[in-house]
Structure 1
């Protein structure tokens, strides 16, 4: 006679030793076995997530370290506000150009190989800025921008590819890691330059060390993230996206929130120092703003990922941003920390939301890469205008008022684009 099996019952072991007559047997649960392949897959995903977070934390320090050191750079080089604004604008131009080309690199090198190349460029660029030669400062900044452009585009693609069912949570993790990197760079750049006697060049170049660590940790992922064959040509994909209102709304929301972010990153310390605050305090206020961005990056995408309609979240962020900017412009009571915190929270949350829009509005990994490249290319070309125009407006008027009015106008347009990007629809 063949033995019958009862899978549900066999999950328990009957304890029959010293069992008394008439007493029901004790059923003890036995844990279900985990298949070795499943266990290996989980470990690989965890290692991939660690690699993503290390890459993400390096995508902002090279940019955030410039603002607190802007006066030191000005005194040492004699650069004008417009020329100093170029240090922030150059990476944004690189973002705009490289982002649209990223799908071409992933088709040849795969996502893993493209990110490895980006980390190599990031190490090179940050190291070059420590060289005592003015052209090296700008060339290094351009390389940094190219490297970060690749990383910016591929983070949503990796999320869609490997963590689609947890997209809101994973987006929160890596966008908050980016905010953490910016906060650390903003807070420690002046102490590194002054207290550690590295000077402003050394304080810019020191961020090549964590980039090198991320490069080493990322190496095992290159073989795992294999290259896949595209379903359509690059030209056809870009043509399709260019004709989509949804793709443009995602792109312009990405660009306008980035414009405000990079204006604050570049000019908040200068605004505060023009009001009599010292460089250390101004740098720490920027660091506080970036630190609050971590909370925004953690909270907003997680909440947004739980609903199909994100328009209410877009409206709330717009209102909080308006309060923060108005407070910073009109402050006469010394509540700088409050206004910097509100602005930082909104900008961190808006950035995480923009990245999540790319994931939620895409139908697959290939579409996510294409939309990410399109959105960030258009978006960062728009954002590149921000820091330069903000500085030019101050140079022309010798007042921050017109510069802030420019940001308020940007906020109104951003609300309109976010309202469209936040509606429940998918780009096929």
Structure 2
């Protein structure tokens, strides 16, 4: 693995590549627990605060809203202070936001969630840019990065409740303990990546280029990311509650969410490799899109019809679909772009709009539950949303590329 990009003094010139991979992984592990860790605690959280299902769902939607709202800010921050310093700052903010949730007022719970979500948004955009700059062949590292995102989510889903109980923590302490992981990541990131002062300006593009949405391909890539993220955040927010309502123990619901994210790590690792191999074929990545949509449909249908029977199969299928779908969405941004600059701009557009759409998922599903008293309508909606996702994925998987926009 070698360095690439316009940076005169690359990090890889002074640090072993495997250490850079470790640094990327520990940062990636932090990019989902602050969001996913809320789901297993929603029952206790709502009982203590009196929040409705819709307001409880907002706690998982707010970070996703921040992913979209702050995505265009990340490249500008990296240009000003250096890419590595910006990632380090995101870890500091993540720890601060997580700690704010310890405060008693409900407003602090939401405020801390916003700070944590903004911090994750910066890392969401800049860590892939760092990988692209530092590795001549970033595909494998992106697969590891995508898998680490899912593993971090799995840790939060599976360990938040049992670890909190083992340590005698209430729901606030159990939620805030993930801030320790951000501090540990900062301790690894700074010695390995440095501050990046010599690399200021390496992120040449100021942000997203909205003109890309004039192209059908740009719209489809953006919609595919948005629909995939809606599926993930919508179901992840309520899966433990859904399974508890179906008769499963509360702790088991959290563990099954962890199973979904672990199988998602497998899908996330494999999808970029398969997408690359399919790139030279006349059908592009369309066979992979069909396979992932079939996994989505089977998993959701199983949870709708037989939530307490074969549950492990349903959540595993959904996990493979969501992990592979997210990794495919990131890969399509790269494959459908003629230049790295276009990829950076398309990534800004797709993450901004895609995550803003996805943020409505937990709230809408929670509101439907409040209105109907069950989860059938919520799962039915997710099944219906597979239709626009299929349309977007089918078009985005074509072996064509977007032209370079004339201006940002």
Q: Report the equivalent of 1:348.
A: 323
Q: Report the equivalent of 2:397.
A: 422
1:241 to 203, 212, 221: 212
**Partner Cα separation in structure 1 for residue 319 and residue 202 of structure 2:** 40
Q: Report the equivalent of 1:331.
A: 306
CA contact (8 A) 1:159 1:359 kept: no
CA contact (8 A) 2:222 2:349 kept: yes
**Partner Cα separation in structure 2 for residue 108 and residue 315 of structure 1:** 42
**Partner Cα separation in structure 2 for residue 212 and residue 278 of structure 1:** 33
Mapping for residues 349-364 of structure 1, pairs under 5 Å:
349-364=324-339
CA contact (8 A) 1:193 1:200 kept: yes
**Partner Cα separation in structure 2 for residue 164 and residue 355 of structure 1:** 17
**Partner Cα separation in structure 1 for residue 160 and residue 190 of structure 2:** 28
CA contact (8 A) 1:107 1:229 kept: yes
Distance 1:81 1:233, change over 3 A: closer
SS in 1 for 2:278: coil
Distance 1:161 1:306, change over 3 A: farther
2:369 to 394, 405, 416: 394
CA contact (8 A) 2:268 2:327 kept: yes
Q: Which runs of 5+ in 1 are unaligned?
A: 1-36
**Partner Cα separation in structure 2 for residue 107 and residue 40 of structure 1:** 20
Q: Report the equivalent of 2:200.
A: 227
TM-score, normalisation: structure 1:
0.86
Higher deviation after alignment, 216-225 or 132-141: 216-225
**Partner Cα separation in structure 1 for residue 205 and residue 319 of structure 2:** 39
**Partner Cα separation in structure 2 for residue 282 and residue 129 of structure 1:** 23
**Partner Cα separation in structure 2 for residue 109 and residue 38 of structure 1:** 16
Q: Report the equivalent of 1:70.
A: 42
CA drift of 1:250 comes to 1.5
Q: Report the equivalent of 2:161.
A: 190
SS in 1 for 2:240: helix
TM-score, normalisation: structure 2:
0.90
CA contact (8 A) 2:248 2:308 kept: no
Superposed CA offset, 1:45-78 (max 9, x none): 3322221111101101111111111111011111
**Partner Cα separation in structure 1 for residue 123 and residue 203 of structure 2:** 20
CA drift of 1:371 comes to 1.8
CA contact (8 A) 2:263 2:323 kept: yes
Mapping for residues 359-374 of structure 1, pairs under 5 Å:
359-374=334-349
CA drift of 1:231 comes to 5.9
Q: Report the equivalent of 1:12.
A: none
**Partner Cα separation in structure 2 for residue 113 and residue 44 of structure 1:** 19
2:85 to 110, 113, 117: 113
CA drift of 1:171 comes to 1.6
1:170 to 141, 147, 151: 141
CA contact (8 A) 1:156 1:372 kept: no
Q: Report the equivalent of 2:238.
A: 267
Q: Report the equivalent of 1:285.
A: 256
Task: Give the greater-gyration-radius structure (CA).
Answer: 1
Q: Report the equivalent of 2:3.
A: none
1:83 to 33, 41, 55: 55
Q: Which runs of 5+ in 2 are unaligned?
A: 1-8
SS in 1 for 2:102: coil
CA drift of 1:40 comes to 6.4
Superposed CA offset, 1:321-347 (max 9, x none): 101100111006621111011101110
CA drift of 1:222 comes to 4.0
**Partner Cα separation in structure 2 for residue 171 and residue 79 of structure 1:** 38
2:111 to 139, 160, 168: 139
